[in-house]
Structure 1
């Protein structure tokens, strides 16, 4: 795909579409189950910018800011919001099923917790992104599909 993505004879819009169709699905494989920490988010944003710089044939040593690269590519950062939207959609699906996946996703399993720092749960990241307040509010919102879809749409509009 390098020859297609870096070809100057192809418009930037077409190259961006090729990136979205062929590369992003590979990058986002299994993202519904990821817990995105600040460090992971920075890495994903850096990867997105790396792809754009490669498409625009800009050296990483060139003193161009990310905002400049985004302006020249006529785009914005979309990867994190796409991942969060997929996570929220999948989370709503799992919460409505009320099976074993529900227990695993919410983290409400019996047993002892380890003594070290606790891992971040998927639901905690989603409630922060959706600005739902508490995780119980988000779980209750999944029961009503219309309300859940509205919450997701509002979060996508606001960005990450």
Structure 2
């Protein structure tokens, strides 16, 4: 095995142990817009290029870099899976977290465009279905675990 790939494995483990947890701290509460998703993917590619020591002046596409590393993009999918796991726990608990997540509380709404809710973002990630279907699936742990695992495998 060439030395560069052995160093790549050590760098990959260091990235997974030290950098990714700091990067994903509190990601369960994020709402990921398309702009934030693009920034996260760019960050993941920057890490990968640095680990493989590919300079930014090299004209290599992201797909080519991913093929060299034998890797798929996984940062956004991991964040979505963590969000779905947290949502399942919060909904089954059924207390204040449930009220805040579903958005069912009284009061006056602020001015401007409504912000994207976590439920809406997860509904698009988990596939076709309504928010009410997702809330019903959360109650059954096995069904919820299967739904999130399938969405993670498909990479949506």
Q: Give the structure-1-normalised TM-score.
A: 0.91
> What's the CA shift for 1:132?
4.2
> Which of 64, 71, 74 in structure 2 is aligned with 1:75?
71
Deviations 1:42-94 (A, max 9, x none): 00000000000111111112211001111111111010110000000000000
SS at match of 1:11: helix
Give the Cα separation in 1 of the matches to 2:53 and 2:16: 18
> Which of 59, 82, 86 in structure 2 is aligned with 1:63?
59
Where structure 1 has 5 or more consecutive residues not aligned to the other structure, the ranges are: 1-6
Residue 110 of structure 2 is matched in structure 1 by: 114
CA contact (8 A) 1:132 1:138 kept: no
Q: Give the structure-2-normalised TM-score.
A: 0.93
Deviations 1:95-120 (A, max 9, x none): 00110111111111111222310000
Where structure 2 has 5 or more consecutive residues not aligned to the other structure, the ranges are: none
Give the Cα separation in 2 of the matches to 1:16 and 1:75: 11
Q: Judging changes above 3 Å, is the alpha-carbon distance between structure 1 residues 9 and 82 closer, same or farther for their aligned structure 2 residues?
A: closer
Residue 89 of structure 2 is matched in structure 1 by: 93
**2:142 paired with 1:146:** yes
Aligned residues: 154
**2:98 paired with 1:84:** no
